Every structure is written in structure tokens, then in C-alpha cells.
Structure 1
Amino acid sequence: MIDEKKLIETLKTCDFSMTPNVLVQESLEEIIEEQPKVGEWIPVSERLPKDFEKALTCDEHGNMHVMMHHHTFEVPFGIYESDARYYRPIAWMPLPKAYEVQE
């Protein structure tokens, strides 16, 4: 895992102005910024997971659930607690890889 913020700061301090690599630097910054943020909450207002991707979600009260998102849901993640109200996550983060038993 890398610290994407530190890597972006480092790239910004590099001087590529004398080479045609300026476009490479911009592309690298975009790619890094688009990577899933390991261990950081991503606001639902900023972006949502890919369709059918499971994620750890958190609501405004600190309740957390593992949920799946799909763009056709009425609300992000679209899980309803009851007929009258539904769970509305305000942030999410990717799930870690599942544990694999080593034999």
C-alpha cells in the first residue's frame, strides 16, 4: 500500500518542465487520485462504488454496515430498514480482501 497523498505531493515537487513529461506527471496525478483510498472514508457526495461492489458504509449516527451499491437503487446503496425509513450512508470505504486460509 502507498500513501497516495504523499506520492502526489512528491510528484508536484518534481520539475518536469524541461521535458515533454509534463503530461506524464498530470496523468500520474489523475491515476493516483482515482485509486481507492485505503483506510479512508469516501463521502457518498464525492463518488460511489462501482455497481455491485460491496463496501463498508457509515451513516450520520456512526452505524456501519456492509452493503452493495447499484446505480438503479432509489438511494445510494438502496438498503431499506423498514417501510417508513431507510438506512442512508454518508460515507463508504472499499472492503479488504477476504482472508484466505493458508495450508
Structure 2
Amino acid sequence: MRYTEYHAGKAVIKDKNKLSEAMEKLARLEDAEEKDRLGQWIPCSERLPENAMNVIAQFSSGTVTELRYAGNGIFEGIYDYSTKVIIAWMPLPEPYKGE
């Protein structure tokens, strides 16, 4: 079901009573989009992980490792690294649960 129509080049809600339903649909689409991004590199220039998040990080040299994002542009591991050294990251995959 389409909730919007275009007016002067902008999407507007056709029926204001359907606004909460449209917002729920948008949230589901955003969740699906986020799931599609799992396993894809996110450039540090685009956005950084949430604070205290463990991620897979790629250095400008091409090396890849697991690090923790400490906030303020700093990744922690054996040493601290800044976003000047790390060019991209991705969330860790779900742990293997076996059969």
C-alpha cells in the first residue's frame, strides 16, 4: 500500500490517519536495509560505530582485524588507532550457534 503522493516534488502523506502505519513501515524498511549492510564495509568518513562496539576494522594498509570503538574517533586493540589509520569498519557477524 502506498501511503504517500508527491506534491511539488516532495512526498506527503495522503491520509494523516495512516501516519503511524507509514512510520512503522519505514522502520521495517530501515531495519531490512541495515540487515543488508551486514557484511559490507562502512567507510569511517560516512559514519562511525556506536561507542564500545566491537567491529571488524580495515587499516589503510589493507590489514583487517577486530577492534573496539572507544568513541571520539579512537579504536582500541593492542594499541589505540585513530580514524586516520582505519578507513572502514563493519559490525561483527552473529556468533555461530551450532546445530
TM class, shorter-length: 0.5 to 0.7
Q: TM-score, normalised by structure 2?
A: 0.60
In the TM superposition, structure 1's runs of 4+ consecutive aligned residues that sit over 6 Å from their partners are none
Of all paired residues, the percent bearing the same amino acid is: 29
Q: Which residue of 1 aligns with 2:87?
A: 90
Output aligned runs, 1:36-75, within 5 Å. Answer: 37-72=37-72, 75=73
Contact kept, 8 Å, 1:59 with 1:91, in 2: the verdict is: yes
After TM superposition, the score normalised by the length of structure 1 is: 0.58
C-alpha deviation, 1:91, in angstroms? 0.4
Question: Contact conserved, 2:42 with 2:90, CA < 8 A, in 1?
Answer: yes
Larger radius of gyration: 2
Contact persistence 1:58–1:89 (CA under 8 A): yes
Question: Which of 73, 76, 79 is the equivalent residue of 2:74?
Answer: 76
Runs of 5+ unmatched residues, structure 1: 1-13
RMSD over aligned CA atoms reads: 3.2
Equivalenced residue count is 83
More strand by proportion, 1 or 2? 2
Match of 1:10 in 2: none
